[in-house]
Amino acid sequence: MNSINFDAIQFNLVEEAYSILLTLILLLYMLLSAEYRQKIHRYFRMTLIANIASILGSMTDWLFSGINTPAARAVITFGSSLSFFANGCILTCYFLFFLAFLDKLKKTDPRWVTLPKIIFAVSTTLSVASLWFNLYFHIDEDGRYVRGPLFPVSILISLVIYCCLIILMFQYRKLLTKTDLMFMSSFYILPLIAEVLQIRFLGYDFLCIGVTVGLMLVFIRILVAHTAKLSEEKALLQADYANQTLAMLANAIDAKDPYTKGHASRVAIYSALIAGELGWSEEQIKDLRFAAMLHDIGKIGIPDCILNKPSRLTDIEYGIIKTHTTLGAGILKGKNVTSLAEKVAMHHHERYDGHGYPTGLAGTDIPLEARLVCIADSYDAMSSKRVYRSSLTPEYIRNELVRGRGTQFDPELLDTFLKLLDEGTPAKAVSELRFRKNDTETEVTKELSDFMAELVSNSRALGADQRPVKDTGLTGPYSVSKDDFSSLIHYLNNLASRYNHSYEMLDILISFEASLQASDEDLKKAMAFMHQAIRQSLRTVDIFTPLGDSGYRIILLDAEQDSLDAITERILKAFYRMYTGIPVKLDYSYVKTEHSRMDS
């Protein structure tokens, strides 16, 4: 074989130095970055190391070529052997890299697994044998590197291996994205082209350039894929955070009434089923699910003792419960969540005939999503066990839904839900829900996460209706004993007769359901909270006194008749906001006096 053209030595040394520098940078980055610990990345690092070894071996040949000393001959021999051995390692690592990639896709072909072992065994054997039998190269009398008789075999082996890799990549091309296919092709085709050029242009080391450029392109692909994975993981973490926060919020609402656990999730599912049947887009359905999950968020501000009261609610207590719509809309107003949530929270108790609350909207003036959630909410309410009754039968529920067609419910939306109900779709969806690990949304948005974070960090948002009922700067009404109260009534009667002053008397009585087995301590606790509620709610000119051991009598001076209900509601709201004991029953009545302005 002819000796190498040493006019190209300077070119080879420069491009090999740059190749080593680039490969070292890639290697250091892969070693120092803890994220790259997968098997596929391990084989890529091994390829980088083998490429550095191959280039270092070639550089020693160029640096010591032509120096006819025993030491120089030994260095050239070692460098050439190292280069041939490293090239075999590169071929092996190429194969292992791609097989690891396929293994990651769970598509490894066992027929290809043994080939890297054969490659490594053959290349190592020939590299070692070349040291003794000059198969690949020998050093001439002038200390110069000369190709041996089997040098073309080493090139042929490389060409065959690159062709096998390209065939393997073509075989699994359907598993690869266009981007992966492009970068993987460069990983194998560039060294193949370099091998051909190296045969054509004797003395020029194109192989290190081909391998290094291929490695750089694949590294870019790894880096891009890793960045995309980090972004995806971050999005998943944000989604999981929002998901868990939404679950905690929904559970917090449900926990206020143990009989309605999972209510928010079920209403969201029923609403999504109706929307899907109507042909809504996935984005619209996702927004609706979020809004439905939050439709009862205002119940956070409703006292537990009212929500869980086993007996019939008074008008004032029912009025307090109805405020959960406006309270919920206030919490959601202006937050980074779907715009539907505020509308659904506000209007899901409106009736199609206009007799609902809080605004009395009718027909299509009610937001479509609120009309839809109204049906889902009503169905689940009737399907669920409540503190005051068991769940209703399917026949009864269907009849009630039909009875509300056109009065409580949108007729067209109801017909759609009844169709699903007759097909058993809602029951099946809830059955599947029970087997899920997470009862909440599997898809969330950053907007919802931001909203939840804001809601958690700003506790005042949850206390929109928890401010003191009275904020006048006054010190509150007079509290007097029973004896003093009797004397005071006599004085007020005289005062009223002389100066035409009026006064009203309000009695508030506290009791418990017999089944709750309340103790005297429970009653004392309730009385203490009522005392505080009265003090917060009345003027300094008003007067109150204990009425036995379970109530209070209140004198309201010059109170207008139409303000009595508002005053009573203010007292009861203040009580319910503070009271944390077992469910209590509050009865109130107005006492008719000769100086009262109340109608007979």
Residue found under tokens 């096998």: 164
Can 235-463 and 478-591 be said to share one CATH topology? no
pTM (predicted TM-score): 0.44
Class of 235-463 in CATH: mainly alpha
Q: Are 582 and 522 in contact (CB under 8 A)?
A: yes
For the chain, 600 residues long, give each residue's pLDDT as a single digit of tens: 344 455 667 778 888 888 888 888 888 887 776 566 676 788 888 888 988 998 888 888 778 877 878 888 888 888 888 888 888 888 888 888 888 877 776 666 666 777 777 878 888 888 888 878 888 877 777 777 777 888 788 878 887 887 888 888 888 777 777 777 777 777 778 887 887 787 777 677 788 888 888 888 888 877 887 777 777 666 655 555 555 555 556 555 655 555 456 788 889 899 999 999 999 988 889 889 888 888 888 887 777 677 767 667 777 778 888 888 988 888 777 655 556 888 999 999 999 999 999 999 999 999 999 999 999 999 988 887 765 566 788 889 999 999 999 999 999 999 999 999 888 888 777 666 544 434 333 333 344 444 444 444 443 333 333 333 333 333 456 566 666 666 666 666 665 565 555 678 889 999 988 777 888 888 988 998 998 888 888 876 678 888 888 999 888 876 666 678 888 888 888 888 888 788 888 888 887 766 555 543
- Which helix or strand (DSSP H or E) is residue 146 part of? strand 145-147
- Angle (CA) 318 324 329, round 5°: 150
As to burial, measured by CB atoms within 10 angstroms (0-12 exposed, 13-18 middle, 19+ buried), residue 131 is: middle
On whether the 478-591 domain is CATH 3.30.360.10, my answer is no
DSSP state of 561: G
Residue 105 has what pLDDT?
66
Domain positions in the chain are: 6-205, 235-463, 478-591
Bond from prior residue into 358 cis (ω within 30 degrees of 0): yes
- The predicted structure's pLDDT at residue 493: 66
**Alpha carbon distance 196, 61 (integer Å):** 21
E strand or H helix at 531: helix 520-537
Measured between its terminal Cα atoms, the distance across the chain in Å is: 128
CATH class entry, domain 6-205:
mainly alpha
Q: Cα(149)–Cα(169) distance, rounded to whole angstroms?
A: 32
**Which phi and psi angles does 302 have, rounded to 5°?**
-95, 130
Whole-angstrom CA distances from 53 to 20, 46, 59, 83, 242 are 9, 11, 10, 7, 50
The token pair that represents 259 in the structure block? 């009989």
pLDDT at 475: 45
The helix/strand/coil state of 391 is coil
